[in-house]
Structure 1
């Protein structure tokens, strides 16, 4: 009986603590419920898979059709982001360092380029679902958001293209590149949410998610420069191209999980106290529309 009484007391204490937490920290309760209900790890895995399936054909398309200066800039950006050395760096150099890309153009063709761009919108659609689930919004009509899928992919390519000079602080050094990268990342994530949500959420409430996503991606960039070069070279030596695929896909899953959690946590924080008082626009009584004339 004594053991049962202790169990009942422990259960009652746990319930009181839970009720107290829900009363004093409603944001934590809502955050836990949102994270569990949206199945973020599954969504992040799908997002990472779509990102990888998008990156590979687009990388070959750039290698085939882009001028030499653009291919050189993209290769430098990839080296800067991942700190590539050894065999991994050689793979990128061989792919993007081709003088003309004639063989790739003959293999890819214009139709292949268009198909690569169209298939890339699957990555955009996966990102849209992450944002909509974070804000508990219904799906927007394809007619409203279809053009946004293409615009977002093109913008992502542009951002990746300039990662080299950006993260090196335009030649000044990483001490400038790190804060500049963080600020640019905040703006990119802010615009990403607003674009893919079709403007259904105002700009200010999107700010917490943008800051968290930028912080996560910046931290993962620093980690990638320490981990990715060694992991890629080891995987290439042991398993060949399959090792490259597995390593990059694992890193993408971590990156997409961080972005998914950041956007969702940011949505909960923006909608709950105390940030909702500052981020959610309120209409004052003086701003109420006047009654129409009789």
Structure 2
């Protein structure tokens, strides 16, 4: 049993478990969900209202992002106002509070990435990276909320996956201050995109019936609980994908060296 425990501890699964425990993956995902609900929801409502003719509206965007059925999507749409109304009713104080929460979300994501790569916290003057990241995030969300390729679902899915891959890859490099090479960050971005696709499938199987049942039991609050649970899943995928990407980055060079050594032994 001791040998088995040592083997498991030295394996990739054992290292992933230890590092996820040190990362505090569950707590960070809960923090991401709380800040995401305070930041991403109003931000998406505002940016989708910026182009009311082509924009889908936040409720429709969220329903498609969740991947839920049409009936559950209608329950989500009942929670939010129609496109075009948010810009007329948003106040300066609301925008300022949104900016503060958005910068806090950027700091939380940066802290998670630094923990994944065992890096020390960045200096205080590096806060400008949060501003740049929030600005690019706003543009990315506006692009996602106003770009429609419904007549070509395959092309739309490929474009959404590719844009998410590029944004996540760049986000890691920007928030980490270039302390990790681009090549080492790519596996984490790829795993995160794959995890988001898996979360979409999980949402269709689990969250879609949950929205219907929770709406009957709790009313609109039940739908909010499901959306919040989905944001927790997004947080797990964001930080967990970066962690798995680091493990892959460490595993692949060793696997390559082992294969080269075996080839040399076989030829000799």
Matched, 1:53 2:38: yes
Distance 1:61 1:172, change over 3 A: closer
Give the aligned partner of residue 95 of structure 2: 113
Q: Secondary structure at the match of 2:120?
A: coil
Whether the 8 Å CA contact 1:58–1:117 is kept in 2: the answer is no
Q: Secondary structure at the match of 1:96?
A: coil
Larger radius of gyration: 1
- Superposition RMSD in Å: 3.0
CA shift at 1:137, angstroms? 0.5
Equivalent residues in 2 for 1:211-222, closer than 5 Å: 211-222=190-201
How far apart are the structure 1 equivalents of 2:186 and 2:86?
43
Equivalent residues in 2 for 1:123-202, closer than 5 Å: 123-144=105-126, 146-163=127-144, 170-202=149-181
When normalised by structure 2's length, the TM-score is 0.79
Matched, 1:66 2:50: yes
CA shift at 1:20, angstroms? 4.8
CA shift at 1:47, angstroms? 1.4
CA shift at 1:128, angstroms? 0.8
Q: Deviations over 1:172-204 (max 9, x none)?
A: 433333343333322221111111111110100
CA shift at 1:132, angstroms? 0.6
Give the aligned partner of residue 262 of structure 2: none
Give the aligned partner of residue 17 of structure 2: 32
How far apart are the structure 1 equivalents of 2:122 and 2:254?
26
Give the aligned partner of residue 10 of structure 1: none
How far apart are the structure 2 equivalents of 1:56 and 1:74?
8
When normalised by structure 1's length, the TM-score is 0.73
Give the aligned partner of residue 9 of structure 1: none
CA shift at 1:226, angstroms? 4.6
Give the aligned partner of residue 247 of structure 1: 226
How far apart are the structure 1 equivalents of 2:107 and 2:15?
26
Q: Which runs of 5+ in 1 are unaligned?
A: 1-13, 279-294
Q: Which runs of 5+ in 2 are unaligned?
A: 258-268
Give the aligned partner of residue 282 of structure 1: none
How far apart are the structure 2 equivalents of 1:59 and 1:177?
19
Distance 1:202 1:238, change over 3 A: same
Q: Deviations over 1:213-247 (max 9, x none)?
A: 01001121233345444433443343233223211
Highest relative contact order (Cα 8 Å, sep 6+), 1 or 2?
Answer: 2
Q: Deviations over 1:254-288 (max 9, x none)?
A: 2211221111121122134536969xxxxxxxxxx
How far apart are the structure 1 equivalents of 2:210 and 2:9?
43
Distance 1:172 1:70, change over 3 A: closer
Whether the 8 Å CA contact 1:77–1:161 is kept in 2: the answer is no
How far apart are the structure 2 equivalents of 1:270 and 1:100?
43
